[in-house]
Amino acid sequence: MSCCCEKKDPNQEAVDAVLAKYKGTKGALIPVLQQCQDIYGYMPKECMAQISKGLNIPLSEIFGVVTFYAQFHLNPRGRNIIRCCLGTACHVRGGAKIFERVQKVTGVKDGETTEDLRYTLESVACIGACGLAPVIMVNDDTHGRLTPDKIPDILAQYE
């Protein structure tokens, strides 16, 4: 319970602002979750509780939505998100080898985050850059026509 004399955490205030923006909007839950995840970098329990109150949606329903969509994360994530495409086009052009090398370089497996929070590694089904297969995405940058040997240099660019 927060007390009135306590100063609110700036993140909580930001969440309040998002909630205020969507007050009374139909179907607000997913955009609210997306914007709140941008604030925290992941979906903390407290934040979901705040959203539940703000939108008057049961906690269990919010948890159900958060765990349904791949975009939402219950745990803190790395500063850089590596998305390895394992879509069909990348698959037939050696995407698995690229993925293997990325795992080797970062030392983490699919869905994991490095201890120093530098990288989070994810496999994705298709990022729609099939013409340049195999591809990976680091944050919002797409890197295409890859060979395993190009991986270390690409990843090194991201601190």
Partner 1 sequence: MNSLAEKRKTYQDQLAAKAKKTVIVVGLGTCGIAAGGEKIWSAIKGEINNKKLDIEMVYSGCVGMCYKEPIIEVHKPGMPRVIYGDVNPENALQILQDHAVNGKVVNDLAVAQDPKEGAAKLPDVPVLNELPFYKKQVKTAIAKCGVINPDSIEEYIAFGGYEALEKVLTGMSQVEVIDEVKKSGLRGRGGGGFSTGLKWEFANKAQGDKKYVVCNADEGDPGAFMDRSVLEGDPHAVLEGMAICGYSIGADEGYIYCRAEYPLAIKRLETAIARGEEAGLLGKNILGTGFNFKLKIKAGAGAFVCGEETALINSIEGKRGMPRVRPPFPAQSGLWAKPTNNNNVETYANIPNIIRQGSSWFASMGTEKSKGSKVFALTGKVNRTGLAEVPVGITIREIIFEIAGGIQDNKKFKAVQIGGPSGGCIPEEHLDTPVDYDSLIALGAMMGSGGLVVMDETTCMVDVARFFLNFTKNESCGKCTPCREGTKRMLEILETICAGKGKPEDITTLERLSTVIKSTALCGLGQTAPNPVLATLKYFRSEYEDHIFNKKCPAGVCNALLEYKIDAEKCKGCGSCKKVCPVEAISGEKKQPHEIDTSKCIKCGSCIEKCKLDAIIRG
Partner 2 sequence: MSNVNLTINGQKVSVPAGITIQEAAEQIGAFIPTFCFDKDLTAPGACRICVVEVAGMRNLPASCVTAVAEGMVVQTESPVVVEARKMILELLVANHPLDCMTCEKGGNCRLQDYAYRYGVTGGAFVGEKHEYLPDSTNPYVYRDLNKCILCGKCVATCNAVSERGVINFAFRGFNTRIATFMDADLKDSECVYCNRCVAVCPVGALVDKNMMGKGRIWDLEQKQVTCTFCESGCNFNVNYRDGKVVGVTAANAAAGRPLCLKGRLGINFMQNPDCIEKPLLKKDGEFVAVTWEEALGIAPILEKLKVINK
Which parts of this chain interact with partner 1 (CB under 8 A)?
26-31, 33-34, 64-65, 68-72, 87-93, 124-133, 135, 140-145
* Residue 70 C-beta: closest distance to partner 2, Å: 9
Selection from partner 1, partner 2, none that 22 binds (CB < 5 to 8 A by kind) is none
Of residues 78 and 101, the one with the C-beta less far from partner 1: 101
Of residues 42 and 158, the one with the C-beta less far from partner 2: 42
Q: What is the 3-state secondary structure (H, E, C) of the chain?
A: CCCCCCCCCHHHHHHHHHHHHCCCCCCCHHHHHHHHHHHHCCCCHHHHHHHHHHHCCCHHHHHHHHHHCCCCCCCCCCCEEEEEECCHHHHHCCHHHHHHHHHHHHCCCCCCECCCCCEEEEEECCCCCHHHCCCEEECCEEECCCCHHHHHHHHHCCC
Of residues 2 and 67, the one with the C-beta less far from partner 2: 67
Binding site for partner 2 (CB under 8 A): 45, 48, 58-64, 67-68
